Amino acid sequence: MSGRWLSIIGIGEDGRTGLSPAACRLLDAAELVVGGRRHLDLAGDTPGEKMEWAKPLDATATTILARRGTPVVVLASGDPFWFGAGATLARSIPIEDMQVLPAPSTFSLAASRLGWSLQDVTTLGLNMKGLTPLIRRHLHHGRRILALALNGETPREVATLLSDAGFGDSTVFVMEALGGPRERIRDVRAKDFDFAAVDPLNIIAVDVVARSGAMPVPYTAGLPDDYFENDGQLTKREVRAVTLSSLQPGAGQLLWDVGAGSGSIGIEWLLAHPANTAIGIERDAERAARAVRNSVNLGVPHLDIRHGAAPEALSGLAQPDAVFIGCGSAGGKVIEVCWNALKPGGRIVANAVTLESEVALLAAYQSHGGTLTRLSIERAEPVGKLTAWRPAMPVLQWVSAKAYGDA
């Protein structure tokens, strides 16, 4: 392939014996071979110079780009563009400079060992620090999950998470060094996990089973209130569902959650799509810490909670696609700062329960248009031996979208 000086070759645990003749020729012709220490060892002796990936990986990409025009091979696990090095390289090197020879991915190998239909399986990469909680949102009875592990401790962390969330009867398969001579597959119920030693190179498969007390994370907005640790500073389920509907989360969008409280709005925004991001602003340190715990427990550990008071804490933040303002922060100055920061086409939603906050929302409505909606919720509760309706405090909600021509 003329002009394609960079070859990205997927290599498995069977090493050079699993490579195609074309891949072997490229490997032998390369002046530079780049990979992790394991990849370089799997490739065996090669005529060219060898170099291990440095951290951060983008730094190595710069070194590779400096060799442009000379034959370079980068070794990656399995499919380089599925949780692999391919995407890192493509950020700085044009795809026209590359030829890619993928090998079977670890997901493909795992599915073939278990007889699972890969298109029906949730695939996750837990192979970076702090990502194990991501599996939480995918725990639904009867579902199957394949997750790349960070290290030998990840399977135990996953089993513990399953048990804590009421999915302890799920079967956990620990699949080590797939495709090579050290391959080993073991299975155990999550609540009985007792594997003392696991190879750092492993993938975890979960056949999810829910029992009484399980707490699945639904795909619609409005999680049960008791899913959130809170001190009463919580947007209640029914109002939260309407609020998320008003915010209209889209893929890859950023939310500012001003007055985050227990973090419920930011958490549900992140649950709407895995590419979404959210920054929560909370002036109370204890509540900020609680919001962080809730985000981890509900599978979105990337919720970015900032301890501080608005509007000062909003300075320097990335421009949002949407803004939610809790009633405690609905002062006119905060609304104006948020409106000015909002991207054209973005949406702002503010909820108020006090008369003072309602005045601020009325002023915002008069300045920026949109809609004002009064939300009233009543729940049936015991009154002695009988049952009666107990109304919650009504909520005034202001919603407005910023026109594309607005400054």
Q: Give the global pTM.
A: 0.89
Q: Give the integer Cα–Cα distance in Å for 121 and 124.
A: 10
pLDDT of residue 103: 93
Please give the domain boundaries of the chain with CATH numbers for all domains. Answer: 6-103 (3.40.1010.10), 107-207 (3.30.950.10), 225-401 (3.40.50.150)
pLDDT at 259 over 60: yes
Segment 35-44 mean pLDDT: 93
What value does the mean pLDDT take over residues 48-66?
87
In percent, the amount of the chain with pLDDT more than 70 equals 98
pLDDT at 331: 65
So what's the pLDDT on residue 59? Answer: 82
pLDDT in tens, 289-338: 999 999 999 999 999 999 999 999 999 999 999 999 986 555 678 999 99
- Residue 376 burial class via C-beta count within 10 angstroms: exposed 0-12, middle 13-18, buried 19 and up: exposed
Q: How far apart are CA 136 and CA 295, in angstroms?
A: 10
DSSP 53: P
Residue 251 C-alpha from the chain's centroid:
12
Long-range contacts of 68-72 (CB under 8 A, 24+ apart): 68/5, 68/97, 69/5, 70/5, 70/31, 70/32, 71/5, 71/7, 71/26, 71/29, 71/30, 71/31, 71/32, 72/5, 72/6, 72/7, 72/30, 72/31, 72/32, 72/33, 72/34
Which residues, in sequence order, are bridge partners of residue 388? Answer: 381
Lowest average pLDDT, out of 49-58, 154-163, 186-195, 267-276, goes to: 49-58
Torsion of CA 240, 243, 249, 255, to 10 degrees: -90
CB contact at 8 A, 172 and 178: no
Q: What is the pLDDT of residue 192?
A: 98
Average pLDDT value for the chain: 93
pLDDT tens-place string over residues 207-229: 999 998 899 999 999 999 999 99
